[in-house]
Amino acid sequence: MTKTINRRKFLSCAAAAVAAPMIVPASALGRNGTVAPSERITAAGIGIRGRGFHDLRWMMRNEDVQFLAICDIQKKQRHAVKSFVDEQYGNTDCAMFSDMRDLFAQRDDIDVVLIATGDRWHAQASIRAMRAGMDVFTEKPSCMTIAEGRAVVETAAAYGRVYQTGTQRLSEPNHVFCIEMARTGRLGEVDKAYAHIAPWDTAKMPRQWKEAQPEPPKDVVDWDAWLGPCPWRPYNESYISGGWRGDYDFHTSCIGEWGAHTFAQAQMGIGMGETSPIKYDYVDNDSGDGMVCHFATGQQLIFSRGDRYWYGSCGELFEGERGWAAAADGYAQPDVSSPELLHEFNEVVGEYQARTGRSLDHMRNFLDCVKSRQEPVANPRVMHHSMCTVHAANICMWLERDMVFDPKTERFVDDDEANRLLARAERAPWVL
Amino acid sequence: MMLKHTAVVTVVVVLALGSAAASNPLAVLQSDASLEEKAEACRLISISGDTDALPVLESLLADEQLSHMARYALEPMPGPEADAALRRALHITTGTLKAGVIASLGVRRDAAAVPELIALLADDNGLVVEAAARALGRIAEPEGVNALSKAIADPDRDYAATQAVADGLFAAAENALANDERADAIRSYDDVYAIEALPGVIRAAALRGAILARHANDGLPLLMDALTGDDATFFEAALRAALELENRDAVARIITDVLPSLSADRKIQVVRLLGELGQDAAGPALLREAETGPTAVRVAALQAAVRLAYAPVIPVLAQLVLAEEANLATIARDGLSHFPGSEGDIAVKNMLKNDDAQMRRIAVELIGKGALPDPANLLMQVANDDTDEAVRLAALRSVKEYVGVPQMQGLLGHLLEARSEDEMLAAEQGLVLLAMQQQDNADSMPAEIITALCDALNNSDDEVQRAVVRILAATGSQKAFDAVLPLTMTNDDNLQDTAMRAVCDWPTPLALSTVIAWVKTTDSNTLRARALRSAVRLLALEKDTPEALSQHYATLLEQAASTDEKNLILSGLARIGHAAALDAALEQLDDESVRAEAILAAIAIAKQLGDSPQDAEALERAKSLIPELRQGIEE
């Protein structure tokens, strides 16, 4: 036995109690704005670039976070993150790892891990981190298959970990308002929710290999680790520069790209955040635009690719018998069927905070929960049930027929071919 | 027939590779086809292949390059034949490939593999051991679970193997629970929890499982031990487990009993847990913690009590809104603002009746932040009737977010008869917001709004009159414009300046012809510059023919007095895909100071041109003058 100690230190919760959910001066986190060591959340990152840097800055803006280590299969990225972190702290302490297994095994001083790899690694890395006793903030889409999503749920529960997926709109006031307007019946009975899917890429994804290029030394780019559990294919530099998007092996299609956000938003609003649709109507196009998903209650989730229902990205719209409400990126305020509905904005958003105790800052909500051990808004179940919708819709598009799904067994009804797509065999050694 | 649904295969093939794999994937696997084609053949088989594919797939399980793809096809294939093929592969694979085969057996829950998997717990290869342990847990046959129970106690295993064995036991326990075999589940969890040498993370997970497997009543003693014991990891595990237990009322009651004995740090966590559990039974205990003690605990208790909608905490909240400690005051105000149900509303309304003006002012602020539904009329009433000026002003400021047509006359009254500059400003802000609300529906704007404002314009002077001008401008309506425009020629310099600014800021294209005329005729450089910027802004909103819009831009370009102004105009011109716009841009090429912006505009216009001969001719002219243009279009 190489380790016989408690992996995690005890986080004092005094800060958590005053930092959320309501507004409290930052000085409350510690004397003169500093944070006592016992109240600090120690963090590591995996696969930080573009969006990951946004998350990293967001996380490090919280004074109770101390970022200690970066893991990346690319040497260039490891050093880029280390330089950034060291510059922020004015030291040279940020440790570098090329293999996440080493990070998890060696750093039992890490409380949370920020995962911003490509989609193929989100669930695998999350599960490995949680098994090691770390809490997880991961970018989305958070799983490649329905089986992977279920494994995230079960691992988080088994190890009592706090897990938040990066569907940050669930914490943004405009979206919270729309979701709560629908959820609380202020719009009347809401029979239909519309959710935005990405206006690029297709649901029917190609998987041709790119031209083989000489594989860099493992220390420069660990190609096998980049592929992880996915089928092997030869190295091509464009993959590690984002060229994996839109490929069947690595991506969850235009439906998952934005649906990972918007389905969660829509499902939460119509009270379907803890389940998924039972029927998917195939649409004869490349993207799934217009697909109608039916819940057991009779409510519908309808995918929309264009700007018919909103004028920003990642929008959702709830259509109720007494009006409608919508939000998307770039909105100064929610879009509503009647201006009077906006008079309820402060009340609705305030009541949400009072009822849930959650911050309206998605990262802060996660960090608060790391201290309090409560569940954040985008917890594993919320992630999994919205991603079930993503994956089932993708399978519906791939097999070009209507699908019936049982949310309890998480299997398709009387459709063996569809059920064969619930999971993908993991490539060793990256088996869970 | 191996492929049951050719239609499905066709779909997938269209997405994927060549036709060879599609038409006969088995033949591809047995041919000299490329690795990519063979991988694709395995994918196709994974969806609809049957036992016909087994011999070929089995032969690939020991193939370094194709073992994974063979598993990819085999793992989801129904039937015991695929299990048998994978089991046989245990004898011809080693190391990483073997670990993969074991993982597939685990996913398939092949009970027949258990004896061999048990033996592999002693394999020299760590990956194999880990895979075997997790597979045994997934399969959850008693023989395999017993082997895992023995393995977890082996002090010589490394951390990764120990973790895998624990994972296996946890999976087996969850399977037992799903099959209503609670005793088996408890035994598995207890086996892990009992080994003190194991890492805390693993033991904490076992503790959580042991508590939940016992259900609420039998699990509570374990839960309480963890909540009151010394081990921080177990304490955290208990916090999570408490949320998962079914009988939340019983959980909340027993936790409430031990709350007073906990340290302040733990008290905060447990208080928050009680808030999350949402059980009324915790209310009295939370109230006690909210009333006295360390501030951090009181804050947490107040928040939790609000989450519970525990009404007896409302007087405490009301008392604390003026607390000297900022944390307490903030939490109290927020809690009171959004206390679930009507009790909070009543408390806030009662605060409005308080003799203390400061208390009334805070109540108004809370109402402004959403403490009450539909508060506009109430706030207007306070703004009219309260005896304290600061309270009245706070109400007037707060109402603006809720203002609607019914409040217009009241706001107008405050504007026309303002007792202070602050009151006038607050009333103006409210009316501007009201006007802006109606702007999108300018055609259907209630006539009484404009009429009342026009009347106010005629019956006021000085500051008030100028404020009304700004409010009228915010409506964007024709009638308002007709009322404001004459004031641009008044002898009152201040009023004239306000009116001219209002016209230049007009939100709709109604003002376009006026501001263009000012650009051409005014002697004032200030007004000309302001009008020119306004014209560019309004041209973007104007719905007119491209020729007419281009002509307006050309006129503005002639009048522009600086490089910045020309660049601004060119940026607007760039939005028009018409030959006349392109010609207007080309005319600026000789001006070196704006040539770069003119080229960008020309490229943007060129991209939007249609197929008309006029457009084609303009494009050719542009290409002859701008070498970069062809490249620009291609980009």
For residue B172, give both structure tokens.
């087996």
Q: How far apart are CA A156 and CA A381, in angstroms?
A: 10
With pLDDT > 70 as the criterion, what percentage of chain A qualifies?
A: 91
- A327-341 burial code (b ≥16 CB/10 A, e <16): bbbebeebbbeeeeb
- Average pLDDT rounded to a whole number, residues B375-386: 96
Two tokens, residue A422: 């619930």
Confidence of residue A16 (pLDDT cuts 50, 70, 90): very low
* Structure tokens, A145: 């298959």
Confidence of residue A36 (pLDDT cuts 50, 70, 90): low
What is the C-alpha separation between B20 and B300, in angstroms, rounded?
66
Query: For B49, which residue in chain A has the nearest alpha carbon?
Result: A417
Best interface-test mutation with A: which of B170, B207, B245, B269 has the largest number of A CBs within 10 A? B269
Average of per-residue pLDDT across A340-354? 93
Task: List Cα–Cα distances, A120 to A229, B50, B74, B434, in angstroms.
Answer: 8, 28, 21, 50
pLDDT, average across residues B609-616:
88
Structure tokens belonging to residue B441: 């529906």
> What confidence tens digit (pLDDT) does each residue in B614-630 have?
988 999 999 888 887 76
Q: Are A232 and B68 in contact (CB < 8 Å)? A: yes
Closest-CA residue of chain B to A234 = B36
Model confidence at B444, pLDDT cuts 50, 70, 90, reads low
Q: What Rg do the C-alpha atoms of chain B give, in angstroms?
A: 39
Grade residue A17 by pLDDT with cuts at 50, 70 and 90. Answer: very low
Residue B391 pLDDT > 50? yes
- pTM of the prediction? 0.87
CA B6 – CA B191 distance, rounded (Å): 51
pLDDT digit string, tens, across residues B330-356? 999 999 999 998 999 999 999 999 999
Nearest CA in chain A to B163: A131
pLDDT for residue B201 is more than 90: yes
**What are the percentages of helix, strand and coil residues in chain A, rounded to 5?**
40, 15, 45
Q: How many CB atoms lie within 10 A of CB A33?
A: 11
Give B139-149 pLDDT, tens digit per residue. Answer: 999 999 999 99
For B70, the closest chain A residue by CA position comes to: A425
Residue A239: pLDDT over 50: yes
Interface test with A, best of B2, B159, B320, B405 (most A CBs within 10 A): B159
Q: Which amino acid is at B531?
A: A
Residue scoring higher pLDDT (A268 or B452): A268
pLDDT score of A62: 97
Burial tier of B548 (Cβ tally within 10 Å: 0-12, 13-18, 19+):
exposed
Q: Given this model, what pLDDT does residue A348 score?
A: 96
Query: What does the pLDDT read at residue B62?
Result: 98
Which of B99, B232, B372 lies closest to A429 in CB terms? B99
Question: B441 pLDDT band (50/70/90 cuts)?
Answer: low
* Interface contact B36-A349, CB threshold 8 A: no
- Give the percent of chain A with pLDDT over 90: 88
Please determine, for residue B21, whether its predicted confidence score (pLDDT) is greater than 80. no
**β-bridge partners, B528:** none
Judging contacts by C-beta atoms under 8 Å, the chain A residues touching residue B71 are 425
Nearest-CA neighbor of B199 among B154, B236, B162?
Answer: B162
Residue A172 clears pLDDT 60, i.e. is over it = yes
Query: What pLDDT is stored for residue B235 in this prediction?
Result: 96
* Closest CA of chain A from B224, distance in Å: 16
The angle formed by the CA atoms of residues A290, A295 and A299, to the nearest 5 degrees, is: 75
CATH class given for the domain over A14-169: alpha beta
**β-pair partners for A138:** A115, A165
d(CA B333, CA A429) in angstroms, rounded, equals 55
Residue keyed to tokens 């510690």:
A30
DSSP for A51-83 reads HHHHHHHHHHTSTTEEEEEEE-SBHHHHHHHHH
Q: What is the DSSP string of B141-165?
A: -HHHHHHHHHHHT-TTS-HHHHHHH
| Nearest by CB: A350 against B240, B330, B369 | B369
Q: Which residues of B touch A372 (CB under 8 A)?
A: 239, 269, 272-273
Mutation site, A8, A12, A22, interface B, largest B CB count within 10 A:
A22
pLDDT greater at residue B417 or residue A10: B417
In this prediction, residue B628 carries a pLDDT of 73
B276 closest CB neighbour out of A16, A133, A374: A374
Q: How many residues does chain B have?
A: 635
Plot region of B94 (φ>0 → left; ψ -120 to 50 → alpha; else → beta): beta
3-class secondary structure, B104: helix
Which of A6, A10, A347 comes nearest B370 by C-beta? Answer: A347
Q: Contact B327/A5, CB-based, under 8 Å? A: no
Chain A residues in contact with B123 by the CB 8 A cut-off are: none
User: Which is more confident, A243 or A21?
Assistant: A243
Q: What are the structural domain ranges in chain A? A: 14-169, 170-202+252-419
Write out chain A residues lying below 8 Å of B15, CB-based.
Answer: 204-207, 248, 398
Judged by CB atoms closer than 8 Å, whether chains meet at A423 and B76 is answered as yes
pLDDT at A7: 39
Q: What is the pLDDT of residues B472-503, one digit of tens each?
A: 999 888 999 999 999 999 999 999 999 999 99
**How much is the average pLDDT of B318-328?**
95
| Identity of the residue in A233, A372, A420 whose CB atom sits nearest the CB atom of B269 | A372
Q: Do A8 and B200 touch (CB under 8 A)?
A: yes
- B349 versus A31: which is more confidently predicted? B349
Q: How far is B447 from chain A (nearest CA, A)?
A: 18
Which one of A18, A105, A340 has the shortest CB-CB distance to B299?
A18
What residues of chain A lie within 8 A of the CB of B4, using their CB?
Answer: 417
Q: What's the pLDDT tens digit per position in B233-285?
A: 999 999 999 999 999 999 999 999 999 999 999 999 999 999 999 999 999 99
List, as one string, the DSSP characters of A350-404: HHHHHHH---SSHHHHHHHHHHH----TT-HHHHHHHHHHHHHHHHHHHHTS-EE
User: pLDDT band for position A8 (50/70/90)?
Assistant: very low
A170-202+252-419 domain in CATH 3.30.360.10?
A: yes
Count chain A–chain B contacts defined by CB atoms under 8 A.
259
Domain segments of chain B as ranges: 227-308
Q: Which residues contact A302 (CB under 8 A, 6 or more apart)?
A: A192, A193, A194, A195, A290, A291, A292, A293
Percentage of chain B lying above the pLDDT 90 cut = 81
The whole-angstrom separation of Cα B325 and Cα B296 is 11
Report pLDDT for B461. 83
- Given an 8 Å threshold on Cβ–Cβ distance, is B268 in contact with A339? no
Instruction: Give the gap in angstroms from C-alpha B97 to the nearest C-alpha of chain A.
Output: 6
Residues near A134 by Cβ (< 8 Å), separated by ≥ 6?
Answer: A8, A44, A104, A110, A111, A112, A113, A161
The shortest C-alpha distance from A387 to chain B (Å) reads: 20
DSSP assigned state of A272 = -
Helix (H, G, I), strand (E, B) or coil at B220: helix
Q: What is the ipTM of this complex?
A: 0.92
What CA–CA distance (Å, rounded) separates A393 from A266?
A: 15
